[in-house]
């Protein structure tokens, strides 16, 4: 639908990054963790890339390690 309307397709994680950028969210790591806990698969590399993009790279526990 978005493509038909000429809108960019950014996905759930893209929306989270935009919300963090606009200071609607203070952190996205807990939301990523919740998505993973609910069964959404996110590769470890992408998980870390997203946290880095959101300036949240930290000693945060990595839930992607339990996805295997």
In a domain, 22, yes or no: yes
Q: Is residue 43 part of a domain?
A: yes
Distance CA 62, CA 48 (A): 9
Q: Does residue 64 contact residue 43 with C-beta atoms inside 8 Å?
A: yes
- To which H or E segment does residue 13 belong? helix 11-21
- List the domain range (segments joined by +) for residue 56: 11-66
Q: Does residue 1 fall inside a structural domain?
A: no
pTM assigned to the model: 0.77
Number of separate domains in the chain = 1
Instruction: List the chain residues with pLDDT less than 70.
Output: 58-68
Question: Does 3 fall in a domain?
Answer: no
Closest CA to 14 of 56, 46, 39, 60: 46
Classify residue 2: in a domain, yes or no. Answer: no
**Tens of pLDDT, residues 14-30:** 999 999 999 999 999 99
pLDDT value of position 61:
66
């Amino acid at each position: 639908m978005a493509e038909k309307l000429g809108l960019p397709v950014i996905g759930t994680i893209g929306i989270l990054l935009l919300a963090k950028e606009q200071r609607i969210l203070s952190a996205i790591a807990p939301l990523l963790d919740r998505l993973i806990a609910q069964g959404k698969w996110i590769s470890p590399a992408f998980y870390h890339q997203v946290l880095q993009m959101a300036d949240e790279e930290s000693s945060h526990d990595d839930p992607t390690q339990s996805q295997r």
